[in-house]
Chains A and B, each alone.
Chain A
Amino acid sequence: MARWFAMCLLLAMLPQTVSADEANVQGFDNLAEEQRYRELISELRCPKCQNQNIADSNAPISKDMRDAVYLMMQDGASDDAIVGALVDRFGEFVRYNPEVDRRTFLLWATPAITVGIGLLVVGGIVIRSRRRGEQGASLTSEEQARVSRLLAGEDRNSHS
């Protein structure tokens, strides 16, 4: 994500060309395209390797995939189209950024759900604590007894 922003920014700010005496491996003539290429190949997984992206992998298949990405970029394909073409051939497995769909909904929702539940619990604790503050210590005598046992560290098994 952070890199994605980096890319947008580069697209906006640096339409700078690569100087004539140097060439990137694929022969891009502008830095924005080179960055876009890097972005794409770093989010695609090499199907043969042990968990490496095709940018870092030296496997022959990764080179083929990099070349395919480059050729599709030259044909003016969009990022989605490029990733889509590779997914059609090699399966969902090759994208490190799984799409949000029925299968991955739980995956994407977990962080939000956890934080949500956590905040509810903390909120509950605060509210209950405040209510107690207003009512004073309004425990039943049984509870009082149990609390004092607990405070004395003698509460060996506190089933409730």
Chain B
Amino acid sequence: MKRLFLFLPVILVIVLGVVLFAGIGKDPNRLESALIGKPVPAFNLSDLADAERQLDGEVFRGEVSLLNVWGTWCPACRDEHDDLLWLAEDKGVRIIGLNYKDNREDALVWLERLGDPYAVTLYDPRGTLGFDLGVYGAPETYVIDPEGIVRHRHVGVVNEKVWKEDLEPLVTRYREGA
């Protein structure tokens, strides 16, 4: 009976080993958004293309959309730009831009030159909406359902693989739901 206690360390170590094994290869920096299942935080920002036009949470209403956080200062945003164009044009995905900590002129030149995948772009020079969303580095892409609820966040570049594996299933689901 007493000897059974001596097996306790082995059992503990095996349990620990399973947990450690599961942890290998996972990115320890990946962070789930705190807003999943919650509405996009309230905001009031101007349209990038039209400084006079004020936009709020209503832009997400009625159709599932991707909210893409970008800036001209962010090299990775340049990398994903062509994929965003492909999504908007070939896949018919509605992408809302969030121009984050940038300035209007640079951003407009960028869209002019590279093409504009965004249905509309929110202009957030001071990063207030970005902060409320918990953005910690551009680019980030959120899936927002037709009710304006955050369903998913992807940190990093969006490409075909990310779209197929992470975003498309969700977009399809909420499209059908609508």
Contacts and interface: CB of A to CB of B under 8 A. Distances in A.
B31 A68 contact: no
Contact of B34 (A50, A64, A68, A91): A91
Contacts of A60: 101
Where chain B touches its partner, the secondary structure class is loop
Where chain A touches its partner, the secondary structure class is helix
B105 interface: no
Contacts, number: 35
Interface residues of A, number: 16
Contacts of B35: 89
Contacts of A159: 3
B150 to A, nearest CB: 12
Contacts of A88: 34
B26 interface: no
Interface residues of B, number: 17
A108 interface: no
A4 interface: no
A87 interface: yes
Interface stretch (B13-21, B129-137, B169-177): B129-137
B134 A89 contact: yes
Interface of A: 47-48, 50, 60-61, 64, 68, 87-93, 159-160
28 contacts: A47-B31, A47-B134, A47-B136, A48-B137, A50-B29, A60-B101, A61-B135, A61-B137, A64-B127, A64-B131, A87-B34, A88-B34, A89-B34, A89-B35, A89-B131, A89-B132, A89-B133, A90-B31, A90-B34, A90-B134, A90-B136, A91-B31, A91-B32, A91-B33, A91-B134, A92-B34, A93-B31, A160-B2
